[in-house]
A and B are shown apart, each in its own frame.
Chain A
Amino acid sequence: MTDVTPGGDVEALAGTERRRPPLEVVEVRTGMFGVHGTGDTSGFGGLVRPVVMPSASPRPYGGWYDEVVDVLAEVLAEAGVDADAAIESVLVDPPFASSTRSELTLHVAPEHLVAVCQALRDDQDLRFELSLGVSGVHYPSETGRELHAVYHLTSITHGRNLRLEVAVPDADPHIPTTTTVYPTNDWHERETWDFFGIIFDGHPALARIEMPDDWPGHPQRKDYPLGGIPVEYKGATVPPPDTRRSYS
């Protein structure tokens, strides 16, 4: 599959390239000791460190990963879902050849998440029948994909684990609920809503679960302060953890 981008470049490696935009650099850090501006007298203020997350893996993924991705694409096609649109990218980290402990991550488009879960649960060659819940991660610098919901699935039948990752923009944080496929995700989605503000459309009762019902804000987001007060001990003052020196 060749795809011509607006710039006129042809994407290399037909068939292996996925259409997910390269988003490896999620943040760029500067300096060294978390001090910025004129207060930084360390001499390290000019350091620039991009935060690079592992990106899509090339084929072959190795082990059973190729089979699972192929079968999933097939099952999705049978259900009338465009597999290329549903699976944005496939990541095996660390690469299969270099480690015995690699994990498979499928980045899934939010609109196709339920179809992907349904296929993963019901097809006899996939059979990821056990969901181990939903977790959220907030990447404030990843414009347009700030909020990630991460689903961990286990196949007891085949002894396999995989991870689904869904990214949505902070401005429109809607993901369809997976409770229709995995009822166990009920409380986990409530927790992710509570902590990150991701709205799971169609959830039977998307109420806060850990925080009080009238709590403003979503505490696990990176822009939400940890809070705390300075503590005086033996004449010295210990600042709260989020205002202590950090290493960028």
Chain B
Amino acid sequence: MTPSQGRPHATKAPVDDAGLPSFEASGGDWDEIAAEIAELGEERIVVNMGPQHPSTHGVLRLMLEIDGETVTEARCGIGYLHTGIEKNMEFRTWTQGVTFCTRMDYLAPFFQETAYCLAVERLLGVADDVPERAQVIRVLLMELNRVASHLVCLGTGGNEMGATTVMTISFTAREEILRIFEMITGLRMNHAFVRPGGVAQDVPAGLAQEFARVDTEVRKYIKQLTDLMLANPIFVSRLKGTGHLSLAGAMALGVTGPVLRSAGLPYDVRKANPYCGYETYDFEVPTSTDADAYSRVVLRIEECYQSLKIAAQCIERLEKSTGEPVMVADRKIAWPAQLAIGTDGMGNSLDHIKEIMGESMESLIHHFKLVTEGFRVPTGQVFQTVEHPRGELGAHIVSDGGTRPYRAHFRDPSFNNLQAVALMCEGGQVADVVVAVASLDPVLGGVDR
């Protein structure tokens, strides 16, 4: 009995059973291992792929039982990136919660932020009072984020099959979108820009010109990607018919997003249960009936174009609503600071600091109370879903009337969709596992939270 037994620890030594032959591959001595396995004369082996493996999209662990080249059983091991974000949110104010949930799915931060804020606004009863301009900014950020996220999916998916150029092009394109994010929020990721009641601050001047430039650039890169991928016979033959997931299978496993739409069901929360005014935008939901990895690539490319189309409509609306508020009028909820980007990044505007430090004691008290104590949210629970790049993201928020969430749970689409790995991979080739998992596009930060 070692002292560590029974205590929590993440890296316990694996079960040491002398009866089980096990082989470790960590260097370049694969030949020796293959020879050892050949000696045993056993075709059926269990391969542990990950959690540190370049083609598992993050710290995903796949346990594959292999008979020759055929996968007979595939299981996922997750939890390697669990950081207790939901638990942490119970110990911070409602506004601080945004800084936590933005870190869940780090490739699509605006979706968590928006789902959480929409849920909090519904609990507060101010959902209808959020200014139109704030909703437009949210939609703009989400749609650009969808493009950025899909680009990473296409890029890393290509990279995992050895097509490095696909990755470099899509990351270059994503970089352009991150520039817009940096321009609006001051940050490239972990923005915490969407706040309960609106957004942190208005968009800067010159956004329309920057968007026009980025839009052209991104479209150019997506065109290049399309040519590189869809016209490449190796790429097509690797993806066509791979990772098949029928509509019945997708529905039973609760798989949503591009994977469900590739099976033919045009289910998109933006259309089915609109939020942030999506019913007023002109866009289409592309679908396919092939239900394979190839059709998901085509759908994601098409969705990028649709998202850029929505983003252009947002820019148009922002031009028309210049100067309108971006936060609810209720000063008991609206963050007191007026943020501005200074020489050292984003912070309180100098005017606001002058007011609270030099002019109005009441302003200082108000600022202090709202920032340290926060606001109280009426008791109850809500479930708010948004269309995440990977599927339907749900935020289940419970309030006990206090200044902190009583419980915050996120139904992350990656977490749910990973359940389909067994169905998509079993009976197929080992090499197709990589393609099938990439077509699900799991982001482990969201899976493990």
How big is chain B's contact interface, by range?
35 or more
Check: A211 CB closer than 8 A to any chain B CB.
yes
**CB atoms of B8 and A156 under 8 A apart:** no
Nearest CB in chain A to that of B127: its residue: A101
Give A220 to B85 CA distance when docked, in angstroms.
10
**CB atoms of A210 and B404 under 8 A apart:** no
**Residues on the B chain within 8 Å of A185, using CB:** 254
Give chain B nearest CB distance to A179 CB in angstroms.
10
How big is chain A's contact interface, by range?
35 or more
Give A247 to B132 CA distance when docked, in angstroms.
33
**CB atoms of A212 and B88 under 8 A apart:** no
**Residues on the B chain within 8 Å of A132, using CB:** 254, 383, 385, 392, 394, 411
Check: B251 CB closer than 8 A to any chain A CB.
yes
Q: How many A-B residue pairs have CB under 8 A?
A: 130
Give A220 to B122 CA distance when docked, in angstroms.
24
Check: B407 CB closer than 8 A to any chain A CB.
yes
A-contacting 9-mer, from B106-114, B211-219, B357-365, B395-403? B395-403
What string of 1s and 0s marks CB contacts (under 8 Å) between B366-407 and chain A? 000000010000011111010000001010101011111011
Give chain B nearest CB distance to A188 CB in angstroms.
7
A-contacting 9-mer, from B76-84, B199-207, B280-288, B316-324? B76-84
**Residues on the B chain within 8 Å of A43, using CB:** none
Check: A68 CB closer than 8 A to any chain B CB.
no
**Residues on the B chain within 8 Å of A53, using CB:** 379-380, 400
Give A117 to B251 CA distance when docked, in angstroms.
15
Give chain B nearest CB distance to A154 CB in angstroms.
8
**CB atoms of B88 and A241 under 8 A apart:** yes
Give A184 to B248 CA distance when docked, in angstroms.
12
Interface residues of A in 44-96 (CB under 8 A from B): 49, 51-54, 93-94
Can you offer 20 A-B residue contacts whose CB atoms are under 8 A?
A93-B381, A100-B128, A103-B382, A130-B254, A132-B383, A132-B392, A132-B394, A133-B411, A136-B409, A182-B254, A208-B79, A209-B78, A210-B79, A211-B79, A211-B82, A212-B8, A212-B9, A216-B7, A226-B91, A246-B403
Q: A51-B400, A209-B78 are in contact. List 15 more A-B contacts (CB 8 A).
A: A27-B400, A53-B400, A93-B380, A93-B381, A103-B383, A133-B394, A136-B409, A159-B273, A161-B273, A163-B383, A182-B252, A187-B418, A208-B79, A210-B449, A216-B6
Q: Which 6 A-B pairs have the closest CB atoms?
A: A184-B254, A135-B409, A241-B91, A210-B82, A210-B79, A133-B411
